Structure 1
Amino acid sequence: MRLLYSNILPLRLEEGQQTFIDYFNEAAANSDSLEIAVGYVSKASLMELQKIVEDNRINNVCLNIGMYYLEGMPEGTYHAAVSLNEAWKQAGIGEVRVIKAFKYHGKLYTFYKKRLPIAGIIGSNNLGAIKLEASNLRQYEVSAVTEIPEEIEEISNIISKLKDPNCSANIQEIEIPLIREVNRALVDQEYVTKVTSDELDAFKRNTTDISFEIPLKVPANHTDPKMRGSNINVCYASGRKRVWWEVEIVVGKEIRDLPGYPEHQVPFMAVTDDGWKFKVWTCGQNNKNLYSKDDLKIMGRWIKGRLVASGLVESVNQVETDTEYKGMITGEMLEKYGRNSITLTKTTLKTITEDGTEMDVWMLSFLPINADTQEETY
């Protein structure tokens, strides 16, 4: 047995010492089977693990995650884990499991080659240690590694027991409470205000029966050419260049003609179900468009920002270079998110703007309908 270290001032590596991340990568490069059981993971580490498995052609892999079933899991991390699980199952090489019988806080790693044990690690390093980022860059960890077959097998036996159905299940076969992450795409944006939780509760208590469910019209998947450059994917339309955040929500006539639908070009204040406030209006020919009034990107930052926060898509800096449409919002993506429409609901309240104008207040909703979610501390 020997120790694996972090390399952080003032405790820099000394001669003969090795970091956890360096040893992990070396062992993975010499293995064809990898099994892991940790308490916590990060989105970045899941993506890094997928790359390590692919680059080293590992053909048997299992990740067991121990703390989230009872504590709740950040939604971005959850969707990244589900994506990893789908990729491994499709390739027939492994799965991601969640321990449900108890809170498992151990950190175990085993590496095999042609069924022979190569290395086993036990210590304080969660999976995030394989991809350092701001949150753990100054976090000092120590683990122990063994290359003795009998000791590796002992570690492997614990992981095997954690994989039993009485201890864990595949991540897509159980319900995990999700911790809703803050939509940071609206932070410090002009014309947008963050409301307090008490204010948000007051708006929710004063909603009326005047409510409209507005579908988000998107392609079924990334290969579907329909709706590819319209509505919330208008940035992919030919012609005028638009930034990725810009959206145009086109509302069907069957909804616009319902009693109580907002009047043409009469601004109102929208308060979102995740606590943002900005001006909205209906405009365009036959009143068909629902826009954020002061900047079309605001509505996009609210809708697409929720999908970014949930880990389902990454924002695109230059849409013209996204030839594979990785930033396109699709029906498959909305299904994973748990919502394919926004709800616009009138309240009984009014607000006075800075220039003294009185406006109606409406609620906008786009949180997953059936998700058991907690809110991340903002």
Structure 2
Amino acid sequence: MSILYTDVPPLGTDDNNENFRDKFKEYFKASNKVEIATGYVSRNALELLNQMIKNQRISYIRLIVGMYYIDGMPESIYNTLIKLDNEWHSRNIGEVLIVRTFRYHGKCYLFSKNETPFAGILGSANLGAISLDAQTRRQYEISVSINGSQQLVQLERHIKDLQTKCSTSISSTPNIPIIRAENVQLRDIDHVQKVNSDEVNAYKDHLVGNTFEIPLKVPHDHNDPKLRGSNINVCYAKGRKREWWETEIIVSKKISEQPGYPEYSKPFMVVTDDGWKFKVWTCGDHNKNFYSKDNLKIMGYWLKGRLVAAGIVNAIDNVENDTEGKGLITEKMLEQYGKTTLSLTKIGQTTKDEEGNVLNVWLLSFLPSQMKEETNR
């Protein structure tokens, strides 16, 4: 048994002190099976863990998360864990479980080679500690590594009991309370106003007419060659280079010609379900284009910003360098997010824009349908 310290000044580690991050990576590299039970995780750590699994050719990984079922799970963490669980199941290499019976705050790491445990780590370090970021660089953890056979048997039994008696697969666990992440991309953007929840609810009390469900036309997956440079993926179109945030919504005639749809080339104001207000309009042949009026990126900041906040995709700084299409939005990604359409409903009120023009007001929603509980943070 040895103590694992954290290299945070003024308690920095020296040649005689081992630290959690290095020891975790050392044991991981020597393993072909890893089992982890932790209270909390971070997106950075999950992405790093998945990359380590691929690099080290781990044959089995079991990850149990313990503090979220009762206290609530951040939306980005939920979507990342679902993605990993699906990937690991499809490759037949592992699973993600969630503890349902109580708040589990343990931090256990068990490393095995050919089904035989050879090392373990216990202590205060959640999984997030394997990743260097702003928080972990200033958060001190202390743990111990164990190598004794009796201790490893006890740790293996504990994780097994936690798995079989207290946990279920995250992909099949209903009613996980979700803490919705705030989309911060619209902060301090010109021509955009913030609307508080009371105002949004007041607008919702004055909805009139039918709701238009506008499908987001995207490729089915990253192997689908269709629609790769249009609509919300217009930044990947050939020709003029666009920023990743630029977004155009193309609406079919089946929708745009319905009674009550917004008038052609007549600006109106939208209030979003998450509390933003900006000007949009419809234009183009058959009234097919639905854009943010003052800046094409405003619609992207709102729509793609929701997907970024939810952990579905990462924003791309330079689309020209994104040769793998990592920033491409697909139908599978929208399905994971929980909504594949924009919902547009007229509000029986008017408002004024920055120039004093009177505009109709509509409610624009991109609220995921599978979220059982919404909490803004």
Structure 1 and Structure 2 fold alike (TM over 0.5): yes
Taking only the aligned residue pairs, the percentage that are identical comes to 50
- Please tell me whether residue 45 in structure 1 is matched to residue 45 in structure 2: yes
Q: Which residue of 2 aligns with 1:245?
A: 245
Q: Which residue of 2 aligns with 1:352?
A: 352
Q: Which residue of 2 aligns with 1:174?
A: 173
- Please tell me whether residue 314 in structure 1 is matched to residue 314 in structure 2: yes
Q: Distance in 2 between matches of 1:139 and 1:374?
A: 29
Q: Per-residue displacement from partner, 1:102-139 (whole Å, max 9, x unpaired)? A: 11111111111233332111111000000121233211
Q: CA deviation at 1:53?
A: 1.8
Q: Which residue of 2 aligns with 1:76?
A: 76
- Please tell me whether residue 8 in structure 1 is matched to residue 8 in structure 2: yes
Q: Which residue of 2 aligns with 1:365?
A: 365
Q: CA deviation at 1:15?
A: 4.5
TM-score by length of 1: 0.95
Q: Per-residue displacement from partner, 1:142-170 (whole Å, max 9, x unpaired)? A: 11111111111111111010110x31111
1:186 counterpart SS class = coil
Q: Distance in 1 between matches of 2:59 and 2:342?
A: 42
Q: Per-residue displacement from partner, 1:306-359 (whole Å, max 9, x unpaired)? A: 111111111222222222222111111111111110011111222122322211
8 Å contact from structure 2 (residues 209, 260) kept in 1:
no
Q: CA deviation at 1:222?
A: 1.2
Query: What does 1:248-263 align with in structure 2 at a 5 Å threshold?
Result: 248-263=248-263
Q: Distance in 2 between matches of 1:44 and 1:153?
A: 30
Q: Which residue of 1 aligns with 2:85?
A: 85
* Residue correspondences, number: 376
- Please tell me whether residue 301 in structure 1 is matched to residue 308 in structure 2: no
1:259 counterpart SS class = coil
Q: CA deviation at 1:27?
A: 1.0
- Please tell me whether residue 64 in structure 1 is matched to residue 64 in structure 2: yes
Q: Per-residue displacement from partner, 1:59-114 (whole Å, max 9, x unpaired)? A: 12211111111222111111111221222222222111111121111111111123
Moved more, 366-375 or 40-49: 366-375
Q: Distance in 2 between matches of 1:55 and 1:109?
A: 19
Q: Per-residue displacement from partner, 1:225-275 (whole Å, max 9, x unpaired)? A: 222211111112112211111111111112122222111222111111011
Q: Distance in 1 between matches of 2:170 and 2:209?
A: 38
Q: Which residue of 2 aligns with 1:33?
A: 33
Q: Which residue of 1 aligns with 2:193?
A: 193
Moved more, 205-214 or 56-65: 205-214
**Which consecutive residues of structure 1, in runs of 5 or more, have no partner in the other structure?**
none
Q: Which residue of 2 aligns with 1:271?
A: 271
Query: What does 1:106-125 align with in structure 2 at a 5 Å threshold?
Result: 106-125=106-125
- Please tell me whether residue 221 in structure 1 is matched to residue 218 in structure 2: no
Q: Distance in 2 between matches of 1:348 and 1:286?
A: 25
Q: Distance in 2 between matches of 1:76 and 1:158?
A: 29
Q: CA deviation at 1:14?
A: 4.2
Q: For 1:284, give the aligned amino acid.
A: G
**Which consecutive residues of structure 2, in runs of 5 or more, have no partner in the other structure?**
none
Q: Distance in 1 between matches of 2:234 and 2:307?
A: 16
CA RMSD of aligned residues (A): 1.5
Q: For 1:153, give the aligned amino acid.
A: V
TM-score by length of 2: 0.96
Q: Distance in 1 between matches of 2:98 and 2:114?
A: 27
